[in-house]
Amino acid sequence: MIPSASVQIAASFLRKDETNSRMETRSHLLQLAAYNNAVWCDSVCRSHNVPGEFLETVWVNRHQTPVYYPNLVTLSSAAERDLQKEPIVDLLTAKRGHTVSVKDSFARLDLAPFGFHHLFQAQWILRQAHTAFRGHATTDLRWERIVSEEELARWEEAWSGTAPSTNRLFLPALLENAEICIMAAYIDHHIVAGAIANRTTEVVGLSNTFTPPDGAELYWEGFLGMIGTHYPSLPIVGYERDESLTIALHVGFTTLGPLSVWIEREVRD
C-alpha cells in the first residue's frame, strides 16, 4: 500500500499539472483571439488599400487606417520587450499628419512615455463551439448573410445609426472573402441587428455587434447560431466592455483576459 503522504504528494502534482494545462490552454486561446482580431483589422485595411504587416509579435500598419481601426495590434505578451525595436518605435515616435492608436492585446504596455493615453479597456471573451442555427419560430425575425453591395450599404447604415455616407467603412471587397460572414437580422425588409464573424486558425471572431436595446440576448443567440452554421465546431472569440460584455456573459461567453487601447494625445505634425 502506498503511504498516505505519497498519495497526497501525487495528488498535488496532478492538480498542479491540471492547473498548468488550463493556463496554457487559456494563454493559447488568448493569442488566437488577438491574432484573429489582427487579421480582421488587416482585412478591413486591405479593402481600403492600406494593408498592414504581420511581424513576430505585432501587426503594424504605417498608413492612416480606417476610422476605429488601430495602427498596431500586439500578438504576443512578448511585444513588451520590442517597444524599442524598429519598426515599432518608429511608428510610436515618427511625425505624421494622422493620429495613431495601439491595441495592446495583453494589457501589458505602458505607452505614456510615447505620448499616448488610454482610450478604453475591455475583456477578451470566449464561447465554445455553438450548434448550427435552427431559427426562432416564435419571432418574425429573418436571419441572412449579407452578400450584395446594396445590402452591405444598408447594413452599415443600420450599424452606424446615421444617414448613408459616401465615406464607407465596410467595402464590397469584404464580401468576397469566404472567411468573413457579415450577418443581419431583418424584420420585414428592415435590418434591425447585425454582427461580423471572421474565421482564422482554430477560432471564429465576433465583432461589430449591434442590436435593439430590448431583447439583445435573442439577437446574440441568433448570431452565434449563424456562426455555428457557417463555421461549425470552432470556438468563438472577441472582446467586449460595459453592457455588451454583460450580454456576452449571459449568452455563455467567459472572459480570457484584459486588453487596452491607447491613442496619441495629439498628432505629431
* Between 60 and 9, the higher pLDDT residue: 60
Tell me how far apart the alpha carbons of residues 207 and 194 are, in angstroms, rounded to a whole number. 9
Average pLDDT over every residue of 12-16: 48
- DSSP-H helix ranges across the chain: 4-47, 88-93, 149-160, 216-230, 242-250
Least-confidence region, from 31-35, 163-167, 186-190? 163-167
Structural Rg of the chain based on CA atoms = 21
Average pLDDT over every residue of 80-96: 80
Q: Residue holding cell 469584404? A: 174
Q: Which residues of 89-119 are buried (b: 16+ CB within 10 A; e: fewer)?
A: eebbeeeeeeebbbbbbbbbbebeebebeee
Report whether pLDDT(149) > 50.
yes
pTM above 0.85, yes or no: yes
Least-confidence region, from 5-14, 49-58, 66-75, 209-218? 5-14
Tell me how far apart the alpha carbons of residues 72 and 213 are, in angstroms, rounded to a whole number. 32
pLDDT at residue number 146: 98
Report whether pLDDT(166) > 60.
yes
Tell me how far apart the alpha carbons of residues 40 and 219 are, in angstroms, rounded to a whole number. 22
Report whether pLDDT(24) > 90.
no
CB neighbours of residue 27 within 10 Å? 15
Chain Cα centroid distance, residue 191: 22
Name all domains of the chain by residue range, CATH numbers in brackets: 31-123+259-264 (no CATH), 129-234 (3.40.630)
- DSSP letter (8 states) at residue 265: S
Angle between helices 242-250 and 216-230 (to 10 degrees): 60
Average pLDDT over every residue of 137-142: 70
> Model confidence over 180-205: pLDDT tens digits?
999 999 999 999 999 999 999 999 99
Average pLDDT over every residue of 47-76: 95
Say if residues 102 and 119 touch (Cβ distance below 8 Å).
no
Tell me how far apart the alpha carbons of residues 202 and 200 are, in angstroms, rounded to a whole number. 6
